Each structure stands twice: as structure tokens, then as C-alpha cells.
Structure 1
Amino acid sequence: MRSRFPYICTNKRYLYNRLKAVPTIMFDNFLVFLANHPRLVPEPLLRVIFLFAADVCWLFSLGGVSQLERNLHHVLVARDGAVTRKDVRKASHRGMRSYFTYFAEAMTVGGQSNERLLARARAIGPGLPICRRLVHDEPGSLPLAISHQGNWDYEGFLAANVLAPPTVTAERLANKALLDTFIKIRKRLDITVLLTGQPNLIEKLTKVLDEPHGLVALLADRDLSRHGEFVKAFGSTIRVARGPAALAFDTGKPLFVVNMFREQLHGEARRKAGVRYGYVVDISAPVDIDRFRDLPREEAIHAISQAWVDVWAHGILAYPEDWHMLQPIFIDDLDFSRLKDVPDEVMSELERIKQVQ
């Protein structure tokens, strides 16, 4: 067999890409090992390790920190007006610590009792009693729009115990072992995972909504497909998934928006949880789908998407450090060469941004 060594030595880009992937592969394998041995490392020690890793990544701008800061800059400017580089760096530091805390929690969730897990999250919001009535008394199933916030595992487990077992979607990961591990964790928490990109995904989710006593919780604040929905948020344009709006419009179900953020625990609540910080799951009042019922389907999906994003954005503005968005989402960061059906007004906005830059 002909050796590839000369090619590797002369192609610096190839070598750089291979070396750059090594830390990610090692980290993924480390996560798989920990998740499969949740009691091997004491949780307090594991949290310290992950917080140290978060500090290192933040200090050297590794692992998506630069993109996180670009995203947070939009949020902070929308909330506070002009912000400094120091403001953004402080926010990204808190964000990375929040994000890596989630990893520590995900790795140890299999070793926690149900009582302890329920003590670590609580549900609030005007939509909570409405969801309870619709799911338990009707009984029916509901779509929820969720985002990259807080801890999905705790959120799903709480939903399964307070409302109904959720069905969620997840992206296919390059590391199959890591993907299988996360699916196994969520199955233990009574969370059903459907992978994006599979045939007839919307039909499968619609079928779930046709059954009683269920939830379809769609991670929707970012879209990887070629046909996402462009909406306004934080004084700019972002691209979100069409799923929540499409399901709500097609099924006639009310759509609820969920924000999740951390809170400090005290006294008995802290003792039961076994940690200093828990989570608040804030369920919005239902988005009024009926006011869009007379619109053509595509216009309605856009209008409903904008409506739920308006609700969701308030939660991000209040707790930006718990928004773990380390990928491109704003118009000035997207790769438009791979997108389809981009509206003319979005392309015009992009041209204006390029001219300013």
C-alpha cells in the first residue's frame, strides 16, 4: 500500500485539521466513559473538573467561545445598549461555566435518585396550569419550543413527572458512541429521542401529538437544515427551526415556549438537591395560533415562528449566561451558500451588513 506520509507532511492544512480534531475526540470519549460510569467520580469533584475545563476554554478562546461571544454581543447590545469587550468576556465566562456545569450534570445523572433530580428543577410560568389541564384533564398532547438553555435532561425528567413524557429531537453527532450514550441517558429519564434527518420526522411527531398524554419538545433556536425560518431577534435576524410553528399550525394545538435558567438554592431545597444551584423551567402562556389561521400556510408558519421567538427572547435577555449557543445563528455569521429559499429582504439585510463591515 502506498504510504500517505509524504502527502501528510506536505499538506499543512490536512495535518492541522487532523491535529485540531484530537482534543474534540478525546473530550467526547471522556464524556462517554464518565456517562457509562456515573458513580466513578464523585459529583462535587467532577463539577470542579468541568469548571476548570470551562475556565481553560474561556481563557484561550477554545471550543466555540469566540462564536458564543459574537452571539452574546447581540443579546447584550439589545438589552443594555453599547457594551464593552470586557462586558462580553464576563458574560461568556459565566456562559461557559454554565455550559460545562451541564456536562458535569449529564455525566452523573445516571447515578442520581429520582427524588434528588426532582429537587434540582422546578416549573413555573402562566403556561404551567394550562399545560396540566390540557395534558391531564383533556387528555391531550402539546408542542413545546425549547432552546439551548440550562439542562435538557433535568428539564425532560421534570416534564415527564409534572406533565407527560416528552418526545424530543436531537442532531446526529459525528461520534456515534457519544450519541448513543446521550440517547441512553434520556431513555432512563423517560425521554424519547428522534434523530433529525430521518424520513417522515414531522409525521412521526404529529402522530405523537395525536396520542393522549404526551409532549413534543422541539429544540428550535437553531436550524441545521437548508429550509429554516428567518425571524427578528435581539435587533438582528436569526434562523430558527420551522418545526414548532408547523406542528402547531397543522395540528391546531396551542404552542408553548419554555425558557430555562439557573437559580441559587438555599436551606432545605439545597439539602434535597445536593447542589448549590438548581433550575427554573418557565413555561409561557400559549401562543395564539388562531390569529394566524386565515393566513396561507407559509405566511402563518413565519408569523407563528416570530411570535414564539418574541416570547423566548425575553428569557434570553434576562439570563444570557444560561444560553449555550456556541454555533452561528445570526445573519452575519451564517453560510448562505448552503441555504435554500432565503427571502429577498434577508439577502438585502445581509448586503447592508457587509457594507457597514
Structure 2
Amino acid sequence: MDELGYPDDEEKRLLRERHYNATIIKRMDLTEDLARFRIQCDEPVMPFEPGQYVAIGLGNWEPRLRGTQPEDVPIKKSRKLVRRAYSISCPMLHDAESPKAGELAPVDQIDYLEFYITLVRQGATAASKPPALTPRLFGKGEGDRICVERKITGRYLLGDIPADENVLMLGTGTGEAPHNAMATTLLSGGHRGKVVIATSVRYQSDIAYQSEHDELMRRFPNYCYLPLTTREPKNLEPNRPDYVGKQYLQTMFTTGKLAELVGDPLAPGNTHVFLCGNPDMIGYVPPGGDVPDRPGMLPLLRAAGFHDATETPGPGTIRFEKYW
């Protein structure tokens, strides 16, 4: 330790050896603030289902990326890990260097975990604590060590969906991650109904799996991927010939444009809906909570005849991931 009592380089090395149990084997940057991380654990991970999540962590002793909000770590926490849970994504297709190159790659057929992560540079408000994990994670690259918690958990699961019924997955940003894992599992299992992922992002550059989705749509006529944007010129400039307005999921659903793009009514009688991402998009209001001026997908879906999966199983159910 130095004179301030913080870990020196040698102690940091020992702390990494003690706490880290996995290695970053691949990092794919989409933008400065968005990346896919593949992490291989030292020991085989427990079996899990697509849609579940696990916590990853780094030590408070790790450096923060330049350009992120500064953080004063007290000495008593300088040897602790900071952790955050992330839904597990998947590559969808095996890489060219894999013996299974080009084949479907569901989560139970790969020996690593893939995560789709946004760099959070600062807290949401001036009073918020500085983000702790991603400013450290985005300073790491292939070969660097990390901690992955052993318990993979979560109730955001596919459940029992008949092969001929539709699956509609609506997400924002990196909320697409569990949907990628779910869709790959459905397609690898021979699902015959429509499998639709619609993801709303600000810019087209925020779409991390476009080439994989394109290939899956080429191979599977029942698969549809809709990347929807809100801040591209076509969303903001009415005089453009390709003007479409802001493609929020709520608007796309209520206007019927989503069903039109998919080529299916997406009716409660044969469709299961999954929601993941921004809580405002999901629209969950706890009992006694204030109803927002702009409703999320939950009340809109209920008004259209869908119902929560906890009420009655079968088509017309809504499942959503809770981050709160």
C-alpha cells in the first residue's frame, strides 16, 4: 500500500487473483458508448435459460475511463468489488473461426457469456452517485480479467410457447439482449410461428446485431427484425421523402404500423409479448403509483386485449423484465 492506504500495484495484482474468475475473450465496439463483451468463466457456468441475467464485477481499485464522471472511493471500499446484473445476450450465429461457423448459436451451445452493454458516463442527475461499473469495464479489453457471479437467475423466460404461435419481443437499446437469446433458442428449436424483435434506439449506429439479424431473416421466413430509430434525420425532418417520424414502440403499436411492417395482426389470440428495456417504454405502474402522461406498452397492450402472464397462460400474455 502507498502512504494513503490505497492498494498499490502489487496488491491490485493479488486482489485480481483473489476475486476474478473470468476473462474477456472478445470485445466488439459499436460506438464509443456501446459494446458487446464475450466473457469466458474459468469454470463451466450453471445451466440457464435465455432471458436470465447474472452480475459481473470489477474492483474499485480499477481505473476509470477518461471522460467519465470522477468518483471518490473511500479507503474502506477501495478493496471491494462493484457489481451489476446484466441480461445475457448471445452471438445468434457462430463466428467464422468457430468449428460451427454460421450455425445458430443459442446460449446452451456456447462456452462463454455475451453481454450487450452501454457505457454510463455520469449519474442521471447532479445528485446521483457516479456510475461505478461501466466506466471501469469500458477500460478493459480482450485478455483482461473480471468477476462473474456464479448464480444466474431471473424470471423473464420464454415459458411454454406452442410452435405455431407468434412471439413479439419489444425492447429499447440494450434491452434487446435477452430477446436475442430467446429468438435464437426458438429458431434452433424449429419454431414455426412468427418470431419478431422490434428494438427502438436513437440512431441506427446503436444497433449492434444488424448483420446477424439480416442473416437470420434470410434463412427463416418467420423471423422479423425491426430496428426503429427516433433521432435520425428521417425521424426529425418532415420535408424528407423518407420521413417516418419518431419510431417509438408505443406509437408503432397503436397506429398499426408495427403489425403492418411484420405482415401480421399480432393479435392476442395467437401472440405472446415480451418487453425489456426502458421502464418508461414498459409502463409498469406499481399499485398506488402515479399514472404517467405518456403510457408505456403495458396499458396499451392490455387495452388491446393482452393480459399479464401471471393471470392466464397461453397466447395473449405479456411478460416483462423488471429492473426496479
Q: Report TM bin, short chain.
A: 0.3 to 0.5
Structure with greater contact order relative to length (CA < 8 Å, sep ≥ 6): 1
TM-score computed with the length of structure 1 as normaliser: 0.36
More strand by share: 2
TM-score computed with the length of structure 2 as normaliser: 0.39
